[in-house]
Amino acid sequence: MRKTEEQLVASWRAEERPQPEGWDFSDLADRMTESQVPWNLTAIYRASLADATSVLDMGTGGGEFLRSFGDALPPDTTATEGWSPNLAAAREALGPLAIEVLEYTAPDEDVDSVDMPFSSNRFDLVLNRHESFSPRELARVLAERGQFITQQVGGDEAHELEAWLGHHRELPHVNLATMRRELETAGFQVVEGAEHEGAYEFRDVAALVAYLQLVPWETPDDFTVDRYADQLLALHRETAGGPVRLTRKRFWLRAVRQ
Ligand SMILES: C[S@@+](CC[C@H](N)C(=O)[O-])C[C@H]1O[C@@H](n2cnc3c(N)ncnc32)[C@H](O)[C@@H]1O
């Protein structure tokens, strides 16, 4: 039996929840697929950790990804996290590995406005998956010949949301070419890097709504299922109740402090 519009909206409403702490999409695994990037960030991190003596992981989230390298981390490993629910989660996850988690984030609107809570030349490897950063501060806390490895979400990721929901926060300057220039200006040499465009595929609008609960910065500030019911119903009709596709953008680079 076909669901009425009211039943559809009610089923989407049932997906609404506060953003959980940590960084884990496994609850959605059977309702979404993500294309994979052609590089292997885990292998890149591992190879670099083999030679590192003092490591920083920026924006560690709930510490899940850093913890997966537990056997490869030097005793001098530190993390930062700026979102308070994740700061507590990261401290709990990384405390048993004796990894200190300091409160810090580079504000998107002015990445240089807050100093990193470290002395100059403090690290020989800085890791950063999906976190903003200040190239100037990074150059300060990395020792000469120290490495910075980052994977970032491209600024025009999920641009389809703009047509579907109206406002969408696009960050067109977040791409490999611009980040390379910014790092080079700050005194780095970018020695490797690549960019990839792929897709997320959600089983239906309900799965998309569930995903959007985990990434609230992708939706308008006033987003709720009820407020955006007309737009979501239009998307449901456009996709005939079937899969919904969103562009997925990733890039990575390795930079060496000169
Ligand atoms: C996308 S997460 C990546 C976390 C981790 N580096 C990883 O790769 O698993 C990047 C940063 O955004 C933070 N973050 C997540 N939700 C946030 C929110 N609602 N507001 C501000 N920051 C948030 C995370 O805590 C983390 O520091």
For the chain, the domains span 5-257
CATH 3.40.50.300 fits 5-257, yes or no: no
- What would the mean pLDDT of 194-223 be, rounded to a whole number? 96
Closest CA to 165 of 218, 109, 100: 218
Is residue 130 lining ligand 1, measured as CB closer than 6 Å? Answer: yes
In this predicted structure, what is the pLDDT of residue 1? 60
Average pLDDT over residues 72-99: 97
Q: What is the rounded distance in angstroms from the CA atom of residue 11 to the CA atom of residue 117? A: 45
Q: What is the pLDDT of residues 59-85, one digit of tens each?
A: 999 999 999 999 999 999 999 999 999
User: 7: Cβ below 6 Å to ligand 1?
Assistant: no
d(CA 223, CA 107): 23
Q: Which of 92-101, 165-174, 248-257 has the lowest mean pLDDT?
A: 165-174
With a cut of 80, say whether residue 23 has pLDDT above it. Answer: no
pLDDT tens sequence across 4-15: 999 999 999 999
- The pLDDT > 70 percentage for the chain reads 99
Which range (7-21, 32-46, 70-84, 159-173) has the least confidence? 159-173
What pLDDT does residue 152 have? 98
**Which pLDDT score is estimated for 21?**
85
Q: How far is the CA of 88 from the centre of ligand 1 (A)?
A: 13
CB 76 within 8 A of CB 99: no
Q: Which of 23, 44, 68, 114 to mutate to test the pocket of ligand 1 (most atoms within 8 A of CB)?
A: 23
Cα 10 from Cα 111, distance rounded (Å): 40
Separation between Cα atoms, residue 232 and residue 237, nearest integer Å:
9
CA 242 → CA 146, 179, 208, distances in Å? Answer: 48, 37, 11
